[in-house]
């Protein structure tokens, strides 16, 4: 039997809408996606390079000093492997279900015997909503994968937010940097992972009531059925 492979983003999709998750993993039908901006990806690479310069000096970036626990994970070769979904060996495996949860991690702090996941986030303005609303499962998953590979976590992670304040001379952009500590629960990620895997072997589920994608398909199908046409999901 082929091993099921999921990522933290797949678990977030499962929570958002079981039907969208089931169709993507079982039928290859993905949600429609617009043009993805390249700026966030470029920012991500620049931030990683910036952190790596301080890692080489065994220092924290100055804007994080006194605001986070621990120091930067020192092994750059291991971290480089973790940072790519193509090469990461950071995973959690359930042998009974024949499934693996794996994902790429931006960075990690070390505080004594504890390892603390760090994820960089860029946005256009100050934070007004609770970040845990969007990233709880992602951070829980990182903790689960670290623990499965022998790295103890302290029950929290950090989101490090960057948003632009002003453009200065010579193209320099000044950013506000805010680390936010999020309480994590690896057992929660494990349960979500198991529920998601089991759903894939069941019949096609119903759509989440609030799923805009499924609502659009349903509405378009109704419009076409009114003219005698049939619109299939897959």
End-to-end CA, the chain: 24
Strands 156-167 and 114-122: what pairing? Answer: parallel
Taking residues 68-72, report their average pLDDT. 97
Residue 77 lies in a domain: yes
Q: Work out how many domains the chain is built from and give that number.
A: 1
Residue 214 lies in a domain: no
Strands (E), 27-125: 71-72, 91-94, 99-102, 107-111, 114-122
Provide the CATH number for the domain around residue 165: 3.90.320
Residue 51 lies in a domain: yes
Using CA atoms, how far apart are residues 154 and 23, in angstroms rounded to an integer? 36
Residue 135 has pLDDT above 70, yes or no: yes
Residue 221 lies in a domain: no
pLDDT tens, residue by residue, 155-211: 999 999 999 999 999 889 899 999 999 999 999 999 999 999 999 999 999 999 999
Taking residues 89-103, report their average pLDDT. 96
Q: Does the predicted TM-score (pTM) go above 0.75?
A: yes
CB 51 within 8 A of CB 72: yes
Residue 225 lies in a domain: no
Residue 227 has pLDDT above 60, yes or no: no
Ramachandran bin of 17, using left for φ above 0, alpha for ψ from -120 to 50, beta for the remaining angles: beta
The H or E element spanning position 165 is strand 156-167
Using CA atoms, how far apart are residues 145 and 139, in angstroms rounded to an integer? 10
Q: Which is higher by pLDDT, 13 or 222?
A: 13
Residue 178 lies in a domain: yes
CB 92 within 8 A of CB 148: yes
Residue 220 lies in a domain: no
Q: What percent of the chain has pLDDT over 90?
A: 78
Domain ranges, residue 88:
4-206
pLDDT at residue 64 in the model: 96
């Amino acid at each position: 039997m082929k091993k099921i492979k999921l990522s933290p983003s797949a678990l977030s999709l499962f929570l958002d809408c079981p039907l969208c998750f089931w169709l993507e993993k079982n039928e290859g039908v993905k949600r429609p996606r617009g043009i993805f901006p390249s700026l966030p990806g470029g920012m991500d690479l620049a931030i990683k390079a910036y952190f790596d310069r301080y890692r080489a000096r065994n220092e924290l970036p100055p804007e994080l000093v006194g605001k986070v626990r621990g120091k930067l994970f020192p092994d750059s070769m291991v971290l480089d492997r973790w940072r790519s979904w193509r090469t990461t060996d950071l995973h959690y495996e359930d042998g009974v279900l024949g499934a693996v949860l794996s994902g790429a991690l931006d960075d990690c702090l070390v505080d004594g015997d504890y390892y603390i996941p760090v994820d960089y986030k860029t946005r256009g303005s100050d934070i007004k909503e609770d970040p845990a609303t969007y990233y709880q499962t992602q951070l829980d998953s990182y903790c689960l994968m670290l623990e499965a590979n022998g790295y103890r976590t302290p029950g929290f992670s950090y989101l490090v937010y960057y948003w632009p304040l002003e453009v200065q001379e010579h193209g320099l952009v000044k950013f506000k940097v805010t680390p936010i500590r999020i309480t994590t629960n690896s057992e929660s990620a494990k349960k979500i992972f198991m529920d998601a895997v089991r759903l894939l072997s069941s019949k096609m589920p119903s759509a989440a009531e609030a799923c805009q994608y499924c609502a659009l398909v349903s509405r378009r199908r109704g419009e076409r059925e009114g003219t005698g046409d049939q619109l299939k999901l897959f």
